[in-house]
Chain A
Amino acid sequence: MRYNVLGYLIAEGFRNFLKNKKSTGASLMIMCATMLIFGLFFLIGQNVNYMLKEIESAQGMQVFMIKDATEEQIQKLGEQIQSLDYVAKTEFVSAAEAYNIVKERWQEYSKALEPYTVEKNPFKVSYVVTLTDLSKSEEVRAQIAQFDNVSNIEIRDKTINALVKIANGVQWISIGILVLLVIISIFIIANTIKLTVHARRKEISIMKYVGATNGFIRWPFIIEGIIIGVIAAMISILILGASYNFVVHKIMESDITSMINMTLLPFNQIFTLVIAVYLILGIGIGTLGSAISMRKYLEV
């Protein structure tokens, strides 16, 4: 395409954009709303995933050994576990340490521990195993169970399961909302552009008679859609960015984070992704919307 033609098409696109200020404004608002609602769920989802990652690195399973395991057997099992795939770290817990942990954690039941001492107690020695990928915990557990001198394995996955459920839930809800809102936005943009197309139908019919190709006629309207999409994306990024920063600061300042040991994704890390997603959304919705609105008018 020659330079002057490209320039002409883009200029026409801008002219269309400025022509119907009311309906263009309405489209912009709806698209911003779409993007902000989607952005909200997107940010929640990303943060839950991030927390999940943080927790994953801290969680794993506890492998208890048979009652009277020798030093040698303990050493060997430790090496075997460490050599497995997806194992990040193994940490040995002696019977004495186990005694102390239980005693400290369950102070109100300390009577039950009275018959025992640090040196002489019924606790089994164990390894606390942390994993690089929590979804592989079943696999790792099965492998460890095959090793000698293993008595039982406890997976500490209750909290994780709950979080995974939340993450999945958020993901599905945001996908559902996204699809719904995208469809609505496409039709609203299509309607806006239909108005421009209608206002310029005379021009379009002349273009058809002089032999303009459909592509040539369509481009200014597609560019109009893209302009609406990109501007909506920019407005949404600004609003979402400002609110995210505000909320994150509020949360960080409060005590909640220290209470539940929660970390939030920093702004910079998440927003390149948000910008990319928004621009793709804006351009995609704009293009589709105008393509729909043009279909009927090109049949001359």
Chain B
Amino acid sequence: MIEFRNVSKTYSTGTEAVHNANFTIEKGEFAFLVGTSGSGKSTLIKMILKEENPTSGNIIINGKDTTFLKPKRVPYLRRSMGVVFQDFRLLPDKTVYENVAFAMYIVRATPKHIRRQVPMVLSLVGLSGKAKMYPNELSGGEQQRVALARALVNNPSMLIADEPTGNLDPETAWDIMTLLNDINMRGTTVVVATHAKDIVDRMKKRVIHIDKGIIDRDDKKGGYDSEI
């Protein structure tokens, strides 16, 4: 599903963010990308999203080498992945329903499809009752659920989460993580970049650890620091 082959990334400033990364995340897998800030995990996420291109090596997504993907094709690649961020990135002047529907609008879904799909995904994230509220009327955890609903509404085959719990208190963070697990159980590949040690330890999922741009550990059922 996601495969990195000898991927290195050096920014134009000269800093090498990722050095010779090799890993494969299979379809239906749940994987944590862990490391301190500045370790290179954000760069990895950006390269999966094709926001950044690798300096060398190849990235294969859904069996296709995206390294030399034409910029014109990038939007279609992104439709196969949902993405959530630490800061939720919701539109403040749109309701919960509109925020989610927006994602369907811009991939040109039919109004009929939108009317059916949005309530379904809102109930999946447990926000059926809050469709008409605005983001500033919701708690942080609820806002992240909206972001998740938006990421999932177009049925992507994978979900990329960049520090999804960074702005949340531990309990809410855990709820979001369980939700991510539920989503994974339904067949979506989930990749979570995080430095929330306790959550990673509790989830007992695959952990890819990156330090100073080098992947130094890849445990099938690991903890943040080492195998448990």
The reply to whether B51 and A210 contact each other, CB–CB distance below 8 Å, is: no
The reply to whether A208 and B91 contact each other, CB–CB distance below 8 Å, is: no
* CB nearest to B87 among chain A residues: A202
Give the contacting residue for B91; candidates A206, A211, A212, A300; CB below 8 A: A206
Chain A interface size, under 10 / 10 to 19 / 20 to 34 / 35 or more: 10 to 19
* CB nearest to B111 among chain A residues: A4
Q: From residue B178, how far is it (CB to closest CB) to chain A in Å?
A: 24
Q: From residue A295, how far is it (CB to closest CB) to chain B in Å?
A: 13
The reply to whether B108 and A210 contact each other, CB–CB distance below 8 Å, is: no
Residues of B within 8 A of A (CB-CB), count:
21
B 99-118 binary contact with A (CB < 8 Å = 1; else 0) = 00011011110110000000
* CB nearest to B51 among chain A residues: A300
The reply to whether B107 and A210 contact each other, CB–CB distance below 8 Å, is: yes
Assess whether B49 is interfacial by the CB under 8 Å rule: yes
* CB nearest to B90 among chain A residues: A206
* CB nearest to A200 among chain B residues: B91
Give the contacting residue for A205; candidates B76, B89, B102; CB below 8 A: B89
A 206-217 binary contact with B (CB < 8 Å = 1; else 0) = 111111111010
Quick one: which of B49, B75, B76, B78 has the most chain A CB within 10 A? B75
Assess whether A142 is interfacial by the CB under 8 Å rule: no
Give the contacting residue for B89; candidates A202, A214, A216; CB below 8 A: A202
The reply to whether A202 and B91 contact each other, CB–CB distance below 8 Å, is: yes
Q: From residue A244, how far is it (CB to closest CB) to chain B in Å?
A: 45
Cα–Cα distance between A210 and B79 once the two chains are bound (Å):
6
The reply to whether A8 and B105 contact each other, CB–CB distance below 8 Å, is: yes
Given contacts A205-B89, A209-B78, A212-B75, contact A2 B110 (CB under 8 A): yes
* CB nearest to A216 among chain B residues: B106
Q: Which residues of B are found within 8 Å of A203, using beta-carbon distances?
A: 91
Cα–Cα distance between A8 and B76 once the two chains are bound (Å):
20
Q: From residue A55, how far is it (CB to closest CB) to chain B in Å?
A: 57
Assess whether A5 is interfacial by the CB under 8 Å rule: yes
Given contacts A4-B110, A4-B111, A300-B51, contact A211 B89 (CB under 8 A): no
Give the contacting residue for A213; candidates B49, B75, B83, B102; CB below 8 A: B75
Cα–Cα distance between A203 and B75 once the two chains are bound (Å):
15
Given contacts A203-B91, A206-B89, contact A211 B111 (CB under 8 A): no
Quick one: which of A203, A206, A216 has the most chain B CB within 10 A? A206
Assess whether B150 is interfacial by the CB under 8 Å rule: yes
Assess whether B154 is interfacial by the CB under 8 Å rule: yes
12 A-B contacts, Cβ less than 8 Å apart?
A: A2-B110, A8-B105, A206-B89, A206-B91, A206-B103, A208-B75, A210-B78, A210-B102, A210-B150, A212-B75, A212-B107, A213-B72
A residues sitting closer than 8 Å to B (CB atoms) are 1-2, 4-5, 8, 202-203, 205-214, 216, 300
Closest 8 A-B residue pairs measured CB to CB?
A: A211-B79, A211-B78, A212-B106, A210-B103, A211-B75, A213-B75, A209-B83, A5-B108
